[in-house]
Each structure stands twice: as structure tokens, then as C-alpha cells.
Structure 1
Amino acid sequence: MQSSQLGTVLVTGGAGFIGCALSQLLAGKAQRWVVLDSLHPQVHPSTERPAELHSAAELVVGDVTDAAAWDALLADVKPDVVVHLAAETGTAQSLHEATRHADVNVVGTTAMLDAFGRAGHTPSHFVLSSSRAVYGEGEWQRADGSTFLPGQRSHAQFERGEWDFAGAKPLPSAAARTWPAPTSVYGATKLAQEHILSAWTGSHDSALTILRFQNVYGPGQSLINPYTGIVSLFSQMAMRGESIPVYEDGRITRDFVFIDDIASSLVAVIEHPPVADGVPRFDVGSGVGTTILELAQSIARFHGAPEPKINGAYRDGDVRHAEVDISDSLDSLDWKPEWDVDRGVAALQEWIAARV
């Protein structure tokens, strides 16, 4: 693709884990690649420009909730494409810091759109990084074949050690058929982002593509953020020779998707926006569910660490099963995941070892 075809791209939160990986693939191809990022200390160890951010990217340090920062930015930048990555992402943290998550994720999104209104500019395409958290527990199926949305597991249920929903099994979620029912404040704010952007772009004749990411991991993720994800946290424990603690009965399931596969999915929709009525929503994951115990065992084996220990602990609001059906994404996008968990975990260990 020629630079003139890609035009000007604005990436909110673009100095973070996903934004830096994306910049390495596309920043050099754009007429302008502009990044707005607050360089929040929970994610960034310093206020210096991240080394992983492509040299062609113009970094503007600013908060997505700050109207003045937006006005100053849009006085100079008229983006053709906006990739909206900026978000607070701590699922457990959001239960105790709900205002912070709502401020960045919801108000930050509305502040961006209001700023475009003041600037009199409408980008042709928005791409939103949404989350598997919008599904909550997703659908479960009873023995008779009927399905239901079980809602949130209660604190009392956790205390009794009842990890699953009795007499039922979980089904993979899919944007085309699974009704979103978030069970965390974070998930609720990501769904709000979807609704807000859908309403605004629909009334401004701008395209919107929503990518619902699964659990992202890989080289480049923050090693100082306690909410960055269990793959990084488990890895650092195993490197120290510690036994990895595993919650519940070890059978919590997640779809762990490698950063390169996330970045390539964004490239696919930026370079070739899907043609669809309404707002296309795509699930982005490996398409394979992995239990937390399986993940911990894989990491422990890599380092020769002690066997992980199931401790029966739990987190209120945690989802039991998060697996996704990516068939629609494979059919509709010029994209497919290339990394399985074992290969991805090995690559992450090597990256962390060079930095710890």
C-alpha cells in the first residue's frame, strides 16, 4: 500500500502495548501517524518516549479526557482514520476504581467526539479496540440443549466453591450471536464505547469497525502494571523459581492471543475496511481456549519452576469461561492468527528474561 492511500492516522493510547506493535507495522506507510497518549505511570516506567514506538510516529502527550489537549491536537491534525486504543483495562481494578475507568473509557470517548465536532472534522473510519469482557459469562447450555445467559457468579457462590453453573456447560462467544452482558465495570465501559461510537459515526456517515480482543499477551507488555495480565505475572514468578498460584480449581478458561496477531488484525481493518451494513464487530483471538492451570504449567515447565498450586482463591466479578468463535473474523477479514500459546509463551519468556 502507498502512503497516500493510508493518509493521516490518529491512534489514541498509541504508545501502549498494542499501539507500539501496530506502529511497527503501519506508521512508516502513513502520510502522518500521530499518537495521543498520557504515558500513565501504571503502564509506563517513565515519561520518556517508548523505544518500541516507530520513529515515524508523532507522539503527543495528553489525556483523552482533556478538551484543551484535543483542541490543540485537532488544530494541527485532521485524521482520516482514528484507532481508539486509549482505555483503562484492569478488570478487577475496575470494581474498586469505577470512576477512573468510566472517566477514561466513556468520558474519554465522548471528549474525543465532541472535539471532532468543535473542529468541524469527521474522520472517514474509526477502529475501536473493544474487549471480550463485553460478553461477561456469555452463553451456557443445559443438558436438554437450551441456552441461557447465567449472569454473574455471586460472592456466596464463590465462598461455597461452586465455580461452574450447575447442570450446564459454557459455549464459545461470537459477536454475531452472543448477547453482550458484561459482569465487570471495565466490560460495561467497553460496551458503552461501542454504543457511543456507533451512535456518533452513524449520524456523521463515518465508518466504524469494532474488534473485540481476547486476552492479549506478548513482548512489549508492561512488566510494572499489576493488572497487565497473568501471562506476564506468571512468567516473572516462574523466573524467580516460585510456584505459580492458580485460582479456583484451575479450570478458568481464557483465549490467549499473541500481540502480533492483534496487530495484524488492526492492519487488516485499517488497510481494508470491511464493507458491511451497520457496524461490523469481529472477535479477535486464537480461537482456542486454555485453562489457567494449563497456562501456568506451560510457563513453569519452560523455567523448570515448581508445579503450580491450585489454591481455591477467587476474584469477585471474575468470568469463569471466556472462549471465542473466530470463524466470522476468518471469513470476513484478510487475517488469521499465527501464534499458538506454547510458541507465544516461549517468545514472551525470552523477551522478559532480557529485561528482568
Structure 2
Amino acid sequence: MLITGGAGFIGSRLSAALLRDGHRVDVLDVLHPQVHADGEWPADLSPAAGRHRVDVTDLDGVEDVLREVRPDVVVHLAAETGTGQSLTEASRHGRVNVVGTTTLLDAMTRTGHVPQHLLLASSRAVYGEGRWREQGGESFYAPVRGAAELALEHWDPIGPSGPDVPVTPEPQLAGTVEPRPASVYAATKLAQEHLLHAWASAMGVRLSVLRLQNVYGAGQSLANPYTGVLTVFAQEALAGNVLDVYEDGRILRDFVHVSDVVAAFRCALRREASGPLLVDIGSGQPTTLLEVATLIADLAGAPEPVVSGRYRLGDVRAACTDVSAAREQLGWAPETTLRSGADELIGWVRSSRAAHVPTRA
């Protein structure tokens, strides 16, 4: 089994779990300094995993790895992930996420090795602003929030009946809600899905796509300013800083613990059905940023968070899912509560040797 981006936050934990399951695991990773500040293989990557320091956009390098490993399963995690960063470094995100995916496919063709199963870590970002519902009325797709609207603090979308009618977001569900990317990053993740679906269908390869909500947990990069907001909050809170909560504090997210994400990938690997899989993975519990910031501050003994009204272009207002489809199709369900996961995260950050607090990008 080959895991691209396998030295990352999810990949390191997934490789350890798969090794315990008895799989042979090789990881391919470029060890980008934004994630791996020291340029070294992470200490939490199992020594039993084969290691290949290769850029996923390097066709010759990827081909060499495939010739050596000849994996029956490829888990594709390699990606640039900064939502806001993707708006100012679009070529970088397009090169790694899109060209990196086509490079992987070309390397398979050049080696004549077609795996049995491809698994992609996609993102809830593909839904963009998603689908909303007016109070007592119809559903509608919210347009992308532009700089002018955000500057005027127009946080929630306006439904067909006008600004006086309250609106609420609907759960993001594959096959029910259309993908409408609101950032370059989101567009590249949807492109990955389309590319792999087209290639896998033509080659007779089984494809599983997991659209992940906001993943968090111990081990997330402490040096990366584009890391998950819970990890940034934890570092700031433990430094005694007041947490800055963007917009009006009511940005909605679905935080899913990394252990539950790893479990979902293991379920997808064991799935007996041969058809393609497209499913959402989250906690199923929507939480506002103010709620989670208050929780983190309380656990860390930090001051009460402050809602600043600041915003970030490319961020969507609401993102959450319903896990019933994952239960039905994978026999999977999240097990880690937000409070227990946040408590674990705080403990890990406290015990880490990080010497600085990154600024949220």
C-alpha cells in the first residue's frame, strides 16, 4: 500500500494503523517546510513504513517509487491545504493538487501498474457556501461571499425572500448538495475527484472518495499558519493570549477527530462493495467558532475569547455534515467527542516543544 503525503498529520496516523492491521505500507512525501519545519521525517511516523522523499509532481520520482513498491492500494493524501493561501498562491495549489494527481496517474500508466483501489482524501470545501434554507421556505444555494460583502459584515447569505427572512445551513451531503467551490483550494480538490473518477472508471479501478470536514487532533503541525483552527487556538490559549474569533463568532464548522478519520479510511479499505464510494466524514455536530474558542480557552485557562469582526477571504460561513450515509455505507461512526478531543489536543500542545505561536493566516 502506498500513501502519498504519508508523512503528514493524517498520513502518519493512518500508516501506523494500517501497519497494525498487517499491511505493508510505503509513504511518499516531499516533507514541505511549511508542514515539516525541520525538513525531517516526523518522529510519529512508524519506522516500519517505507519512506520515499519524492515530490508528487515529479513524474520520474513517482514512477521509480511505483516500480519499486507496486502497490495494490494507493491512498492519495498529498495536497496543499491552505484555503486563504490558495487565493494568493493559486499556481502552487494547482500544481500540487491537480498536476500532482495527474502525475500519479501518468506514473501508473508508464509503469504499467494499475492498483486495485484508489482512495482520495477530499474536502468539505468542495461544497463552497453550500445549500441553505429559508425559515418556512425553500432551499437555495448561497453565492460566494466577496470582499465587499464581508467588509460590510454581511455574514449570512440572503435568501430569495430577502434579508428579513432568517436562513439556516443544510448539512453537506454527497449526492444531495452540489459542489460549488468558493476557493482555489476547493476547486483543486473537486478537480482531484473528477480526475480520479475518470481514470479509475476507464481502468476498472475501484475508487473511494472521503470528503473530510475539519480534522483536528494531537500531531497537527504547530509551525504551519494554515493548520487547523483548533490547533492554532490551543497554542494561543496556552500562551495566555485572548483568542480572536472571526466575523460575528457564528461561523459554523464540523470538527472531526483524526482518530475517527483514520477509522473511516480503514472502513473504506475493508468495504466489500466494488462500486465507487463518495461519502462525507465528520462528527455530525455543527459547532460555532465562538463555542469552540470558549471551550479551548476554558480547558487552557486562558482569557475569554473576543469576537473581532475580522474575516478571511475564501472562508465559507457554514460547513457541517450528516454522518448517516457513512454509517450506512461504511459501518462507521465518529466516537470522539469535541470536548475529549480538545482536551487531548491541549495536553499535547502543552507538552510539545514548540517555541512559538503561529499567526492564523
TM range (shorter): over 0.9
- Give SS of 1:282's match: strand
Moved more, 326-335 or 84-93: 326-335
- Which whole-Å CA distance do the structure 2 matches of 1:314 and 1:107 have between them? 30
Q: Write out per-residue CA displacement over residues 36-73 of structure 1, whole angstroms, 9 at most, x where no aligned residue.
A: 00000000122322111112100100000001101211
Q: Is the 8 A contact 1:140 1:169 kept in 2?
A: yes
In structure 1, what is the equivalent of residue 293 of structure 2? 296
Q: Which TM-score applies when normalising by structure 2?
A: 0.94
2:111 pairs, out of 119, 124, 138, with 119
1:32 equivalent in alignment to 2:24 = yes
Structure 2 residue 226 is matched with structure 1 residue 227: yes
1:346 aligns with 2:343: yes
Give yes or no for contact 2:143–2:157 (8 Å, CA) kept in 1.
no
> What SS is found at the alignment partner of 2:69?
coil
**1:207-263, CA deviations, whole angstroms, 9 ceiling, x for partnerless residues?**
000000000110111000000011011111111111100111000000011110011
Aligned equivalents of 1:318, 1:268: Cα separation in 2: 30
Are the equivalent residues in 2 in contact too, given 1:89–1:186 (CA < 8 A)?
yes
Q: 2: distance between equivalents of 1:143 and 1:51?
A: 50
* Conservation of the 8 A alpha-carbon contact between 2:255 and 2:338: yes
Equivalent runs, 1:184-263 vs 2, <5 Å = 184-263=183-262
SS at match of 1:283: strand
Q: Which runs of 5+ in 1 are unaligned?
A: 1-8
2:283 is aligned to: 286
Give the Cα–Cα distance (whole angstroms) in 1 for the partners of residues 7 and 157 of structure 2: 40
Shift of 1:93: 0.6
1:45 equivalent in structure 2: 37
Contact 2:171 2:322 in 1 (8 A): yes
Q: Which moved more, 1:56-65 or 1:38-47?
A: 38-47
Contact 1:274 1:332 in 2 (8 A): no
Could you list the per-position Cα deviations for residues 99-152 of structure 1 after superposition, in whole angstroms to 9, with x for gaps in the alignment?
A: 000000000000000010010111000000000000011101123431111120
C-alpha displacement at 1:350, in angstroms?
Answer: 0.5
**TM-score normalised by L of structure 1:** 0.95
Report the aligned-residue RMSD.
Answer: 1.1
TM-superposed CA distance for 1:317, in Å, is: 1.8
Q: 2:273 aligned with 1:275, yes or no?
A: yes
Greater alpha carbon shift after TM alignment, 180-189 vs 45-54: 45-54
Please show how residues 315-354 of structure 1 align to structure 2 within 5 Å: 315-354=312-351
Cα distance in structure 1, aligned partners of 2:172 and 2:33 = 33
Unaligned stretches of 5+ in structure 2?
159-164, 355-361
AA of the residue aligned to 1:137: E
Code of the residue aligned with 1:213 in structure 2: it is L
* SS of residue in 2 equivalent to 1:50: coil
Q: In the alignment, residue 350 of structure 1 is paired with which amino acid?
A: G
- Following superposition, the deviation at residue 28 of structure 1 comes to 4.0
Q: Which of 105, 129, 138 is 1:146 aligned to?
A: 138
d(CA) in 2 for partners of 1:79 and 1:119? 12
